Amino acid sequence: MNKKNVAVISGLVALGLGGGWFGYQSTLYKSGTVVAINQQKVKLTGLSKQQAKKALNATQQTYKVKVNDRQTTKTVTVRVQPKLTDSDLKKIKNGQTSAITVGIPTTQTIVNQLQKAKLASKTNQPKNARLVRTSTNYTVKGGQTGGSVNYQQTAQRIITAIKQNKTNQISVKAAYQTPKITKTAMQAKANQLNKMIAQNLTVTVNNKTYTVPTTVKAQAVKQNGKINKNPLANWVTYSLSVKTGSYNHKIKFKTHNKKTITLTNTTAESGIGQYVPAKTTAQKLATALTTGQQLNVAAKLTGKKYEQNFNGTYIELDLTHQHAYMYKKGKLVVSWPFISGKKSVGHATITGVYHILYKDRTTATHKVHLRGGTADTAYDSVVNYWLPWQSSGYGIHDASWQKISNFGKASVNSQVGSHGCINTNPTIMKKVYEEATVGMQVVSYGTLGQSL
């Protein structure tokens, strides 16, 4: 190898070594590179990337967190070892050496510190929001936050503040245990129910339209969104039927002595009167409320119209004179004296219009057993014939314990009056029982009676 070639090779080697040195030097941080981390300054001059990462990660971060409790303010110290990424180091090398926040503490780390601080002394539990039904709608009550601190949520607030502020001085408000059912969620449910109640719901009977009151709809709409049909059925029976039919209407009745009297309570128990069928109409109304469709419901009157003196077939109980009359198609078939309920002690027989519910009598395996109640065993009696004409226990039956001479005498009612039933002489009761039919109207009136 001649001297010329040796000189060329030596120059290339020197150039290579020089280039490698300068390349190495370029990977080091420039003179004066200082990073402020957690209010501490770390010099990185002449350090490699790995050396810089090690130096920075050795700097423990300390966060002073002021937690504002309802009762007091406490400072919680949270320490975290930083972990810088290559991206962080690249920013630093490019001259972005302002204060940086790295190594965000975990939620559990902060929770541990908060629990040690024992923020709140109150421990009352949160109260769930609940629906309260008024006469016209649903309102929301409750939904109160409890007194116990929600450490998980408070820790999340601290982490958010650290990320946003990039400083070790943090101030947050403590989060508290919230109810499982909030006012917001419950209000949405209330709005849904109130929307159902606000629908214009009507019933058309005989070409006339009647509006279901808001109070009735509010009673019908349940908290789960389903419909309670009872309030709707009651409105149909006690309001709509009264307006459109003949229930509770006054009727004229001619007594056995040709005197015309006015009877007022032609109710369902009378078996007389036209009415809107409650069950089927209430079902239609419930469907309309639920679906929001066909909010006008059509209904027809049903039942029997009142014909003068029930077309001549009925039992007339004259309580004033303690005497009964049974007519069939206008013909008197049985007439008998009786003893009614003892008015002096509050057991007066009820007045009004009713009908025979069923017929029953003693058999070899069955006894009709009338009981006046545990406090009045004097009316604990077994009878042979029983004709009930009102659902709570009023009826006509034989009374073998009564003196024959007392039947039909109003003057002895205060001494021998019944518990409310029509006591009848056993010798007459057999014919009364045979002539009576289920559904036959019963009219009760007079001074020794009481309205139901």
Q: Which CATH number covers residue 326? A: 2.40.440.10
**Residues 159-171: tens digit of each pLDDT:** 888 777 666 687 8
3-state SS, residue 260: strand
The mean-pLDDT minimum among 5-14, 22-31, 50-59, 224-233 falls in: 5-14
Residue 159 CA: distances (Å) to CA of 36, 38, 191, 264: 20, 15, 36, 78
At 85, the pLDDT band (50, 70, 90 cuts) reads confident
User: What sections of 61-129 are H helices per DSSP?
Assistant: 86-93, 107-117
Report the range of poorest mean pLDDT among 177-186, 206-215, 374-383, 386-395. Answer: 374-383
108 with 143, same domain: the answer is no
Domains held by the chain: number: 4
| 355 belongs to the catalytic site | no
Asked if 215 and 162 sit in the same domain, the reply is no
Judge whether 397 counts as a catalytic residue: yes
For 18-36, what is the mean pLDDT?
53
Considering the domain architecture, whether residues 151 and 172 belong to the same structural domain is answered as yes
Q: Give the domain-ending residue among 304, 321, 349.
A: 304
Domain membership of residue 267 (yes or no) is: no
Both 208 and 294 in one domain: the answer is: yes
Catalytic residue among 323, 347, 355, 397: 397
pLDDT above 90: residue 363? no
pLDDT of 13 reads 38
pLDDT confidence bin for 20, thresholds 50/70/90:
very low
Same domain for 281 and 227, yes or no, is yes
Asked which of 304, 321, 344 is the last residue of a domain, the reply is 304
- CATH at residue 242: 3.10.20.800
- The span from the CA of 292 to the CA of 178, in Å, is 35
Average pLDDT over the chain reads 83
The verdict on residue 300 lying in a domain is yes
**How much is the pTM?**
0.54
Same domain for 316 and 414?
A: yes
Q: Which residue has the higher pLDDT, 86 or 133?
A: 133
pLDDT for 42: 77
* Residue 237: pLDDT over 80: yes
Q: CB within 8 A of 176, min separation 6: which ones?
A: 70, 120, 126, 145, 146, 147, 148, 149, 150
In a domain, 7, yes or no: no
Could you tell me if residue 342 is inside a domain?
yes
Instruction: Give yes or no: residues 411 and 381 share one domain.
Output: yes
**Quick one: 93 and 225 in the same domain?**
no
Longest dimension (CA), the chain: 168
Residue finishing a domain among 259, 283, 304: 304
Which residues span the domain enclosing 394?
A: 309-451
- Are 91 and 52 in a shared domain? yes
